[in-house]
Amino acid sequence: MAVKHNKIRAASRPLSDSTEDHLERIADFVERKGYARVTDVAEELGLTASTVSNMVRRLAGRGLLSYERYRGFNLTAEGRAVAARIKERHKALTELLGLLGLEEKTVAAEVEDMEHHLRPKTLALLEKLVGFWKSHPKQLQLFRQFAKQK
């Protein structure tokens, strides 16, 4: 019984930026290939296989992925839910900054810097702003013109 309690407590702790980045990349690989491998994630994140392997063990310990040594791994139901929230946040910020007219390269860099530091209420408000601008494109144009002024 104590083990289950510890897993629940471990899974509910806030995730570090690095942990979120790993989960996001793992989810991408699982979507594309049906599984992820340490070498794939390491290459994608520019890390060593050893670093990724350590993170994979920690994620498995938190109940976010199923992992067998020397084999591929997959997200658990909880891991998929956490990764989906991370990806939604990433998508919302990408969309917002894109609507503002920033270049793709700038958007990608800014999203990576911002995405781990927003509170849920702030993100929800930004998502509403994106929705507003999409349903009221003239308001978006007015804002973009305003932003160009010196």
- Domains of the chain, by residue range, sit at 2-75, 87-148
Instruction: Just give the CATH number of 87-148.
Output: 1.10.60.10
Instruction: Just give the CATH number of 2-75.
Output: 1.10.10.10
Q: What pLDDT, in 10s, does the model give residues 110-140?
A: 999 999 899 999 999 999 999 999 999 999 9
What does the buried/exposed string (b/e) look like for 6-17 if buried means 16 or more CB atoms within 10 Å of the residue's CB? eeeeebeeebee
Calculate the dihedral angle through the C-alpha atoms of 82, 85, 87, 93, rounding to the nearest 10 degrees: -150
pTM of the model: 0.80
Q: Which residues contact 8 (CB under 8 A, 6 or more apart)?
A: none
Q: What pLDDT, in 10s, does the model give residues 39-62?
A: 999 999 999 999 999 999 999 999
**Fold identical between 2-75 and 87-148?**
no
Looking at residue 69, what is its pLDDT? 75
Q: How far is CA 112 from the centre of its chain?
A: 9
**Cα separation, 150 vs 9, whole angstroms:** 51
